[in-house]
């Protein structure tokens, strides 16, 4: 008897729900066309308890009260952060007001973005009745609340992002500011060291310069042997006043000083033209020393500053033409002599600084032009004195100084004019006035004594 195998199914008039699902599962498993199997589907309803937030109170950030540029930039950053914070607080407060309105009202309709109709519960009216009686929230209210909470979270995230960005900018600014302050402190230290070195070198130079002048002054002046046959007369401006104040030696008291502050060559010439006869009758034969020139090369302005009188290349020649007129005045007196004293170098910038006037670049350049004009004028004075067989005291030797240019084996040095022994750039200090007076007295003994 042949054997057969198969699936036996028993039919009942009424199948249970579990048996129906079992049969459906068997059918699906035995069918090769169906790629998937469906067992069951259930719907779950979740209820969330969300605390309602409170309104934010916008408190201003503390500002920087220090009067400084960096503090001003920091206050600008704080102002921007305060504006962002105020804007976010306004959005948060608006969201909180909306949440309170949604929770407290029943008939708030919100348009859904989903076009398909949402599935309803079996007894939806129970939630509405519960909301009316007990104030509980429905699913729609929770969705609205969740949507506003998402907005609130997004705004908070933007605030945190903005704060992080500003913190990054502020950190970068502070790091660069610290670096700049370090550079400033370093440069200030370098400038301080440089100024200190210059001050020490200047003090050392002044000390050596004054010592040199003192050594010259301490050299004992020999007693003049012989008889004076000419009376020394010095015609000068304010420079002569400074030298006259230092007269102590008996021989220096025999010098006749004709000094007038602020005078120039032309005014001195007019005065001498009127008084030369009476002076020679009063003093006898004289040896006239002409020493103006300061007020011819420079002119005083209304603000007490001085500037170059002329920048014409022939300025020194024109001044010397006026100086030669003094020789014409002495021609009627052949027993009298004349000598032109070289003009010492002086500084426009030093004078203006002494009078608390800031020097301009133009006047600093005028110092160089003045230096050259004095050199040219003194060169012509030397030629004229040589023609007259006379000699001018070398007053500029007391102004010359030297400094080391490079630190090499040969140690080359540069010669320059120093104005450290001037009171104000024009008038000599007492120690320089004494040195100049000694130079003049030495030359006068040669010129006026047999």
Confidence of residue 113 (pLDDT cuts 50, 70, 90): very low
The per-residue pLDDT for range 27-46, each reduced to its tens digit, is: 544 454 444 444 444 555 55
For the chain, the average pLDDT equals: 77
pLDDT tops 50 at residue 62:
yes
Residue 145 vs residues 46, 91, 126: alpha-carbon distances, Å: 15, 15, 20
CA end-to-end distance (rounded Å), the chain: 182
Q: Report the SS3 class of residue 77.
A: helix
With vertex at residue 399, the alpha carbon angle to CA 393 and CA 403, rounded to the nearest 5 degrees, is 140
Q: Which of 111-125, 174-188, 355-369 has the lowest mean pLDDT?
A: 111-125
Provide the percentage of residues in the chain whose pLDDT is more than 70: 69
What value does the mean pLDDT take over residues 290-312? Answer: 88
Q: What is the value of pTM for the model shown?
A: 0.54
What value does the mean pLDDT take over residues 294-302? Answer: 89
Whether the Cβ atoms of residue 257 and residue 236 lie closer than 8 Å to each other: yes
The per-residue pLDDT for range 214-272, each reduced to its tens digit, is: 666 656 666 667 788 999 999 999 999 999 998 888 888 889 999 998 889 999 999 99
- Structure-model confidence comparison of residues 161 and 15, the more confident one: 161
Spell out the residues 6+ positions from residue 396 whose beta carbon is closer than 8 angstroms to its own. Answer: 342, 344, 345, 378, 417
Burial class (CB in 10 A: 0-12, 13-18, 19+), 406: exposed
- Which one of 3.20.20.20, 3.40.50.880, 1.10.357.10, 3.40.50.1110 gives the CATH number of domain 198-448? 3.40.50.1110
The per-residue pLDDT for range 77-100, each reduced to its tens digit, is: 778 778 877 878 888 888 878 777
| E strand segments, 197-317 | 231-236, 256-259, 286-291, 298-300, 306-308
Spell out the residues 6+ positions from residue 258 whose beta carbon is closer than 8 angstroms to its own. Answer: 233, 234, 235, 236, 240
Q: Which of 33-37, 119-123, 382-386 has the lowest mean pLDDT?
A: 33-37
Whether the Cβ atoms of residue 403 and residue 392 lie closer than 8 Å to each other: no
The per-residue pLDDT for range 394-437, each reduced to its tens digit, is: 888 888 877 766 555 566 667 788 888 898 889 998 888 988 99
pLDDT tops 50 at residue 108:
no
Whether the Cβ atoms of residue 413 and residue 375 lie closer than 8 Å to each other: no
What value does the mean pLDDT take over residues 269-289? Answer: 92
Cα separation, 262 vs 436, whole angstroms: 20
- Name beta bridge partners: 415: 402
- DSSP structural state of residue 115: -
Cα separation, 25 vs 356, whole angstroms: 111
| E strand segments, 364-420 | 400-404, 413-417
CA 21 remoteness from chain centre: 92
Q: How many CB atoms lie within 10 A of CB 232?
A: 25
Cα separation, 178 vs 86, whole angstroms: 31
- Structure-model confidence comparison of residues 359 and 77, the more confident one: 77
Reference 387, options 314, 318, 293, 323; nearest CA is 323
């Amino acid at each position: 008897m042949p054997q057969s195998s198969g699936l036996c199914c028993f039919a009942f008039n009424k199948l249970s729900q579990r048996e129906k699902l079992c049969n459906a599962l068997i059918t699906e498993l035995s069918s090769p066309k169906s790629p998937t199997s469906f067992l069951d589907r259930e719907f779950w309803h979740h209820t969330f308890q969300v605390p309602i937030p409170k309104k934010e109170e916008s408190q201003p950030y503390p500002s920087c009260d220090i009067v400084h540029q960096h503090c001003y930039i920091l206050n600008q950053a704080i102002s921007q952060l305060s504006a962002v914070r105020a804007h976010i607080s306004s959005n948060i407060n608006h969201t909180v007001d909306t949440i309170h309105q949604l929770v407290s009202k029943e008939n708030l309709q919100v348009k859904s973005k989903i076009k398909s109709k949402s599935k309803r519960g079996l007894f939806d009216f129970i939630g509405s009745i519960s909301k009316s009686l007990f104030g509980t929230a429905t699913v729609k209210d929770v969705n609205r609340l969740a949507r506003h909470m998402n907005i609130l979270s997004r705004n908070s995230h933007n605030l945190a992002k903005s704060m992080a960005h500003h913190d990054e900018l502020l950190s970068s600014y502070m790091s660069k500011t610290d670096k700049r302050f370090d550079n400033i402190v370093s440069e200030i230290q370098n400038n301080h060291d440089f100024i200190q070195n210059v001050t020490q070198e200047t003090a050392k130079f002044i000390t050596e310069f004054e010592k040199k002048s003192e050594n010259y002054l301490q050299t004992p002046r020999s007693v003049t042997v012989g008889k004076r046959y000419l009376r020394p007369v010095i015609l000068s401006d304010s420079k002569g006043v400074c030298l006259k104040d230092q007269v102590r030696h008996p021989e220096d008291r025999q010098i006749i000083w004709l000094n007038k502050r602020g005078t120039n060559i032309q005014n001195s010439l007019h005065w001498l033209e009127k008084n030369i006869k009476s002076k020679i009758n009063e003093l006898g034969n004289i040896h006239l020393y002409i020493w103006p020139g300061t007020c011819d090369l420079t002119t005083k302005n209304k603000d007490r500053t001085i500037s170059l009188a002329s920048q014409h290349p022939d300025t020194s020649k024109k001044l010397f033409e006026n100086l030669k007129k003094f020789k014409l005045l002495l021609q009627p007196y052949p027993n009298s002599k004349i000598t032109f004293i070289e003009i010492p170098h002086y500084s426009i910038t030093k004078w203006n600084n002494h009078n608390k006037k800031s020097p301009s670049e133009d006047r600093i350049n005028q110092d160089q032009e003045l230096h050259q004009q004095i050199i040219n004028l003194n060169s012509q004075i030397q030629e004229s004195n040589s023609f007259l067989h006379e000699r001018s005291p070398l007053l500029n030797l007391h102004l010359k100084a030297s400094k080391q240019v490079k630190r090499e084996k040969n140690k080359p040095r540069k010669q320059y004019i120093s104005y450290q022994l001037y009171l104000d750039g024009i008038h000599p200090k007492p120690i320089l006035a004494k040195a100049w007076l000694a130079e003049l007295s030495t030359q006068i003994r040669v010129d006026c004594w047999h």
